Amino acid sequence: MLKNYTITQIRPYPLGSRTFKDSIEISAEFTGGSKCGINLRNSKTGKTELIMFPEECKNGYIYSARIEMQGLTDKYDSYNLYEDGTYFCDQHANDITGYEVWGKDTDSDQVYESLNTDEFDWSGDHKPHIDFADSFIYLINVRSFTKSPTSGLSADIRGTYEGVAAKIPYLKDLGVTAVEFMPVYEMNVVQKARLSGTPKNADDTIVFSHNGHLSDRKKIKPKINLWGFENAYYMAPRRAYAKEPENAVNELKNLIKKLHQNGIEVIMQFYFDPDINRNLITEALRHWVYEYHIDGIHLKGDNMPLDQITGDPLLKDTKIFYYGFDYGRIYGRKAPAFRTLSDYNDCFMYNCRRLLKGEDNTLSDFLGSMLCNTEDHGVVNYICNYDGFRLNDLVSYEHKRNEDNGENNTDGNDYNVSWNCGMEGKTRKKNILDIRNRQMKNALTMLFMSQGTPMIYSGDEFADTQDGNNNPYCQDNQTGWVNWKYLDKNTELIDYIKFLLELRKNHKILHNRKPFKLMDYKACGYPDLSYHGIDAWRPDLSNYSHTIGMLFNGIYDEKCSDDHFVVGKEYEFYYIAYNMHWTPVSFALPTLPDGMEWYLVADTYDTGVVDETQPLENQLETECIERSIKILIGKGKIKAKKVKTDEE
């Protein structure tokens, strides 16, 4: 029994624990029980000591106390809480022990908070603060990103924070400016779904009864939650993601610091169940922004305290992603100097997929999504996400293949707007593979030529596949892991992405910070952006149209200060011709100002990137083969001040 210790009351906030040489400060929330305390533990010996909190340490449902004794923190290195016969872990725990071994089921009363006192050196760390217009987000699940032996990493760091760190040179070479991590906070990854009134075997496997007859019961093996969208210990990093679990806090911080050193921002996903305490939500977000220097937060779940989060002073310069903010209420009539809030929804994905597939009644919605851009907030665009088909599967399957999830293929989204290009699943037929390759490049062109911030899921850049499983939340295996063997097989696709990113980076007109007006407000003879059809200046937006040309006027580029064309000065136009019809289409090219000519720079029917140094032989029109996209650049020095367009 512990002797010679003293307990004194402290302030109730902030909640959580703080460790000093000979004392522990603890402020914890309970549920109103009559007997509450802290259960100290020595992890090496397994010895525990229960200390009850006196009544004077109670404020509301919070007990806050300082426990002092010489050598206290040498004897005990972890704790959990006690209330009326129940032991449980502190929701405000900063570091958790008990879940170090991936896939091991641990009872909640055997989960403790570590009294870790290690400090991390953040000196020299600087947040990149990259504008949404210049961002490219790369979505990662820490475990599945490098867990496969195909990642080329040593076994001890596969599926860990250090595994991600080892891939930073790859991310930087690809052009990534921000990584978005699926949940990395601590939780029990073993799922124990049960039916009401269903008995359980002694070996703790789940047992289902059929029509209430126990003789027909069936064992179902518990699933492993690879994704992490469950209630959790929101302030503690996942130890199973660390090379050395006891060093998880510093390994994750070291990863974030290395990403910052390479100019890459860090965005964290947080899922909160609707019944979670709203104060805990804000406290957890503050904790990660302050303690881990993260740059962005992607909120998932309903009933978010958005006013509280967006109004918090500590989070004011943190990027926050959600599915619709009330921007008028947040900003009033004045747009912020630096955009930090961003919409994240599936509209762009579905509108692009519908046009990509060749559906009718899609063109107007597609154009709306491509141009969606505002001065007060960002917009994240994606063709594929973690909860759906991979890019390769999008063009290889028309029906989900989720049988291995053990739910009779009833889970996952049934509405995928996918097309298998003529054959379901894997094939060696060259004509089908050619169409699939072209369709993937078409999708990527739509994504990177949109005005919003592009995001891709890890592995899509080299056509990774999940064999048609569009909901691999429980597939902790080769299905759910990124397969790096496709990296060398699909270099053409990666090179095309790098080209699109470079094009986007070097020409601001392709990703303006301000929305297009579709007007010639500089009186230069051309609008900032204009639509075209088979005939220049005459777009066909009918229900059955699958073609559109988009002309970007370089004089409206943010880098260009001219209000009109200057004779003798060189300008650039961009024309993107989309033909998602199943037959070839010829586009009449808009006439350029005198002195400028059209050059072809990309064609998804070809390898994608076109090394074209000579102007087009035919300056009047260009043909797009079926289901293909061309990117043309118009460049040259203006020879005459008078500009005559096709409209005149």
The mean pLDDT value of the chain amounts to: 92
**Dihedrals phi, psi of 68, to nearest 5 degrees:** -125, 135
- Of the candidates 290, 297, 237, 242, the one whose C-alpha atom is nearest the C-alpha of residue 266 is 297
Q: Is 211 or 446 the better-scoring residue by pLDDT? A: 446
Q: For position 64, what pLDDT does the model report? A: 97
* Rounded Cα–Cα distance for residues 480 and 461 (Å): 16
pLDDT in the model for residue 564: 82
Report, as an integer, the average pLDDT of 286-294.
Answer: 97
Identify the bridge partners of residue 50 per DSSP, sorted by sequence position.
39
Query: Do residues 523 and 517 make contact, with C-beta atoms less than 8 angstroms apart?
Result: no
3-state helix, strand, coil in the chain (%, to 5): 25, 25, 50
Its pTM stands at: 0.93
Nearest to 266 by CA among 145, 160, 162, 129: 129
Distance CA 153, CA 146 (A): 8
d(C-alpha 432, C-alpha 438), whole Å:
10
Cα 39 to Cα 87: distance, rounded to the nearest angstrom: 8
Percentage with pLDDT > 70 across the chain: 94
The answer on pLDDT for 116 being more than 90 is no
- Give whole-number Cα distances, 141 to 138, 145, 202, 225, 610, in Å: 10, 6, 34, 12, 34
Least confident of 133-147, 195-209, 459-473: 195-209
639: pLDDT confidence band, cut at 50, 70 and 90? confident
Find out whether 572 and 607 touch, Cβ atoms under 8 Å: no
pLDDT of amino acid 497 = 97
144 vs 147: CA distance, rounded Å: 5
Whole-angstrom distance, CA of residue 447 vs CA of residue 361: 20
pLDDT tens-digit map of 504-517: 999 989 988 889 99
Rg for the chain (alpha carbons), in Å?
28
Structure tokens at 282: 């804000």
Q: Which two tokens stand for residue 387?
A: 């909860």
Count CB atoms within 10 A of the CB of residue 52.
12
Tell me what the mean pLDDT of segment 286-305 comes to: 96
Q: How far is CA 90 from CA 36, 103, 287, 429, 648, in A?
A: 13, 22, 15, 57, 72
Q: What is the pLDDT of residue 593?
A: 93
Cβ neighbour number for residue 488 with a 10 Å cutoff: 9
Say which residue the tokens 């070479």 belong to.
173
For residue 122, the number of C-alpha atoms closer than 13 Å in the C-beta half-sphere is 13
Long-range CB contacts (within 8 A, 24+) of 362-371: 362/546, 363/541, 363/545, 363/546, 363/548, 364/541, 366/446, 366/548, 367/531, 367/541, 367/548, 369/450, 370/446, 370/449, 370/450, 370/451, 370/550, 371/450, 371/451, 371/515, 371/516, 371/529
CA distances from 520 to 280, 526, 576, 579 (A): 51, 5, 19, 26
User: DSSP per residue over 278-329, as a string?
Assistant: HHHHHHHHHHHHHHH---EEEEESSS--HHHHHT-GGGTTSEEEES---HHH
Taking only the tens place, the pLDDT of each residue in 132-146 is 999 999 999 999 999
DSSP H or E stretch at residue 344: strand 341-344
Q: Quick one: pLDDT band at residue 536, thresholds 50, 70, 90?
A: very high
Q: What is the pLDDT of residue 372?
A: 94
State the pLDDT confidence band at 195, using cuts at 50, 70 and 90: very low
- Give CB contacts under 8 A, 24+ apart, made by 432-438: 435/395, 435/627, 436/392, 436/395, 436/396, 437/492, 437/493, 438/604, 438/605, 438/627, 438/628
pLDDT at 199: 43
What pLDDT score does 102 carry?
96
- The pLDDT assigned to 215 comes to 43
Question: Which one has a higher pLDDT value, 620 or 1?
Answer: 620
Q: Distance (Å, rounded) from C-alpha 424 to C-alpha 404?
A: 18
Q: What three-state secondary structure class fits 353?
A: helix
- When pLDDT is averaged across residues 559-568 and rounded to a whole number, the result is 84
Q: Please give the Cα distance from 228 to 307 (Å, whole number).
A: 26
| Contact predicate 576/629, CB 8 Å | yes
Instruction: Please tell me which of 146-150, 326-330, 554-558 the model is most confident about, judged by mean pLDDT.
Output: 146-150
pLDDT at 371 over 50: yes
Q: What is the pLDDT of residues 480-500, one digit of tens each?
A: 999 999 999 999 999 999 999
Q: Give the Cα separation of 605 and 428 in Å (integer).
A: 19
DSSP conformational letter for 204: -
Q: Are 177 and 131 in contact (CB under 8 A)?
A: no
Residue 192: per-residue pLDDT: 67
Structural domains present in the chain: 6-114 (2.60.40.10), 132-187+227-346+373-388+447-506 (3.20.20.80), 190-223 (no CATH), 516-637 (2.60.40.1180)
Q: Which amino acid is at 400?
A: K
Residue 109 CB burial class (10 angstroms; 0-12, 13-18, ≥19): middle
Provide the token pair at 249: 């806090």
Nearest alpha carbon to residue 388 among 348, 366, 415, 365: 415
Per-residue pLDDT at 646: 53
Residue 202 pLDDT grade (very low, low, confident, very high; cuts 50, 70, 90): very low
Over residues 571-592, the pLDDT tens digits come to: 899 999 999 999 999 999 999 9
The long-range contacts involving 52-58, CB below 8 angstroms and separated by at least 24 positions, are 52/82, 53/7, 54/7, 56/9, 57/7, 57/9
HEC per residue, 50-78 = EEECCHHHEECCEEEEEEECCCHHHHCCE
Q: What is the mean pLDDT of residues 604-628?
A: 88
